[in-house]
Amino acid sequence: MRTDVLILGGGPAGGMTALLCARAGLAVVLCEAHATLPERVCGMYLCPAGVALLERHRLRERTGPGARLLRGMVMVAPNFQRLVTQFPPGDNVPDYGLSLPRPELDNALLGIAREAGAVIRMGMRPAKLMRTTGGWRATLPNGEVIEAKLLVGADGRKSATARLLGLTLPVRRSRIAIHIDRPARIRTSPLGEMHIFDDGVYVGVNPIAPDTVNFSIVSDPEALHGVTAVNLINDRIARSPGLCELIASLPADAKPGVTFPTNARVRAAATHDAALVGDASGYIDPLTGEGIYGALWTADELVRAVTTDWNDLPAALARYARIRAQRHRAKSVLCEVFQSMIRRPRLANSVGWLLARRQGVANSFIGIIGNSYPPSRGFLRMAQQAFTL
């Protein structure tokens, strides 16, 4: 089979790329390794900028019909002081995020891509993938051969495509993430929660339903030496009054999902004939709340670049790689600041105390996390609000 675009990976990055390519009139084949998409280790929070992107592409109703609106975030400092914030409206960005169950989101995107004309091959990880003159040739496990002009790696943090293209870089700081959905002890409010502990471990809680929370914990891998994932989670619940109130300790036979590493680095998001989108193009840390939005916007940016310049793909891909690198740099700097802050509990407590004094500043801060505006503009807003009586 000959096609314009071959995409590897059927997560939100692959699904979004496939559907936007198909809508733009390109022939596209997507191969997903799993026959049925599995449960994901994911907080399932979509930031306000991600909601805006879904709305812009008329996908909001189909991708999150039962999604819960998230009005803001509660930040809990190492001294357990709570800071309640609300997402501020941004430029064409709503003042709410969404709790989006997965893999329902991923399946919805694949379904819409199929309707738009994309060919989706589930349970197909190419057995062989090679460059040809003018493109790529993939041989699927069933012997089918697919030839394409453009290859897109949407195969996640451990991207085989990035490795094949020689773009993978070693990760700088590898943390481990553990995830589980749990019944809530109390009726949950429409606010995400981020609990920071005094040793740099943090817990994200997403109230995916009034009676259910999605619980993720991120720590250094050493925290799991000689301790089970269940014990690690129960220890953090026991330490935190807020978590204790929200959820009960896990039973010994609970089965949380574990993933490692929680970040990925590449030297560039494209070569002259291939591109990486979503986590495959680099992923900083779950703390940034960037993942699903990153999957969606990189797909959007890539498809815009290649459809504008399909006859000069190397130029289009170079432009995409530049934009990806610029935005990645801005978020990386921000994440480094957060990471060094959460590893200094006294500093994290002081920042929490200061933000609690000025609600407007705190809301602007959460707007940066929600990608409601670029970090530089967010810090300017914070400064303006700090000096406004």
Residues binding ligand FAD (CB under 6 A): 8-14, 31-34, 37, 40-46, 125, 154-156, 160, 177, 179, 216, 259, 262, 278-280, 283, 286, 289, 291-295
Q: Which is nearer to ligand FAD, 63 or 361 (CB)?
A: 63
Strand segments, DSSP code E, in the chain are 2-8, 28-32, 45-46, 68-70, 72-76, 82-84, 97-99, 119-122, 128-132, 135-139, 145-153, 168-169, 176-183, 191-196, 202-209, 212-219, 257-259, 265-266, 274-276
Q: Which is nearer to ligand FAD, 46 or 223 (CB)?
A: 46
Helical residues (DSSP H) of 240-312, grouped into ranges: 241-246, 291-308
Q: Residue 355's closest CA among 94, 74, 89, 90?
A: 74
Q: How far apart are the first and last CA of the chain?
A: 66
Compute the least distance from the CB of residue 389 to ligand FAD, in Å.
Answer: 36
Compute the least distance from the CB of residue 296 to ligand FAD, in Å.
Answer: 9
Compute the least distance from the CB of residue 99 to ligand FAD, in Å.
Answer: 9
Q: Which is nearer to ligand FAD, 106 or 273 (CB)?
A: 106
Q: Which is nearer to ligand FAD, 182 or 361 (CB)?
A: 182
Compute the least distance from the CB of residue 100 to ligand FAD, in Å.
Answer: 8
Compute the least distance from the CB of residue 115 to ligand FAD, in Å.
Answer: 19
The helix/strand/coil state of 326 is helix
Q: Which is nearer to ligand FAD, 4 or 285 (CB)?
A: 285
Angle, helix 313-342 to helix 375-386, in steps of 10 degrees: 40
> Burial letters for 190-218: b for 16+ Cβ neighbours within 10 Å, e otherwise?
ebbbbbbbbebbbbbbbbbeeebbbbbbb
Q: Are 348 and 341 in contact (CB under 8 A)?
A: yes
Compute the least distance from the CB of residue 76 to ligand FAD, in Å.
Answer: 16
Q: Which is nearer to ligand FAD, 11 or 378 (CB)?
A: 11
Reading the block at residue 165, the tokens are: 């293209």
The sign one gets for the Cα dihedral 37, 41, 42, 43 is: positive
Angstrom distance (rounded) from CA 277 to CA 303:
10
Compute the least distance from the CB of residue 228 to ligand FAD, in Å.
Answer: 17
Q: Are 7 and 119 in contact (CB under 8 A)?
A: no
Q: Which is nearer to ligand FAD, 234 or 259 (CB)?
A: 259
Q: Which is nearer to ligand FAD, 46 or 77 (CB)?
A: 46
Q: Are 214 and 68 in contact (CB under 8 A)?
A: no
Compute the least distance from the CB of residue 162 to ligand FAD, in Å.
Answer: 10
Q: Which helix (H) or strand (E) holds 347?
A: helix 345-357
Compute the least distance from the CB of residue 278 to ligand FAD, in Å.
Answer: 2
Angstrom distance (rounded) from CA 347 to CA 351:
6
Which residue type does 376 have?
Answer: S
Compute the least distance from the CB of residue 340 to ligand FAD, in Å.
Answer: 20
Q: Which is nearer to ligand FAD, 105 or 361 (CB)?
A: 105
Q: Are 274 and 188 in contact (CB under 8 A)?
A: no
Q: Which is nearer to ligand FAD, 262 or 363 (CB)?
A: 262
